[in-house]
Amino acid sequence: MTQEKKKFDILREQEKDHRKKTILEAAEKILSEKSFKEFNMRDLAREVGLSPGSIYTYFPDKESLFAEVALKGFRQALEIFGEVVSSEDASLKTAANRYLTQIIEQYQSHRIVQQCIIDGMFKTDEAIDELMMITRQFFELIDKLINKAGPGGEENTRLYSHLFFAALNGIIFTFPKYPKQPKYETMKHVGLLGDLLADLIQSKAGSGTG
């Protein structure tokens, strides 16, 4: 392979990656305003300046596109949680409150993740593997925080991590868009729930009982 051919292939791959990123960002924007059922590939194509057929070059169907958008949002959520856990004052309580606050501020992205999981849109082995990998990384970060509270045993620690993660996402799913409730009241209530959840997990893990 000539040097010129190598350069061309690299540039073509970079252009493909850039275009795929553009499509994902546009799809995320549309999904923040419309439901999955209302989403239309023609609207997406118009947004990015491509033909509808070109979109299918990058994503074979809407479900795979939605899954990729969801994974992008899930990776961002993991990054946020990782930053919280790495802070000097990290604890279950600070992690719960900072994570809840930041994810609720980006609620639409997280809603897409939740909806894709509920609707079973992760169908390819690659998408499922990445979903599971990100989830495991969440659990590992939570394990670190729980182990600060006391020796609950490896099996119990992971069980508490599952509970903590599920409860946090349940809070996010339940309260941010509660009808006729001012945002400051919602955030105050969410903060109280985060504190309560952290205290319950920490007291149980710290007691060393399962």
Mean pLDDT by 10 residues, the chain (210 residues): 64 81 92 88 92 89 91 91 88 92 86 87 91 96 84 75 94 82 89 95 70
Q: Which pLDDT value is given to residue 4?
A: 67
Q: Which pLDDT value is given to residue 210?
A: 47
Beta-carbon count within 10 A of 196 CB: 13
Q: Which pLDDT value is given to residue 154?
A: 62
pTM: 0.83
Q: Which pLDDT value is given to residue 108?
A: 81
Contact call for residues 109 and 176 (beta carbons, < 8 A): no
Q: Which pLDDT value is given to residue 65?
A: 92
Residue 68: Cβ-neighbour burial (10 angstroms; 0-12, 13-18, 19+)? buried
Q: Which pLDDT value is given to residue 143?
A: 93
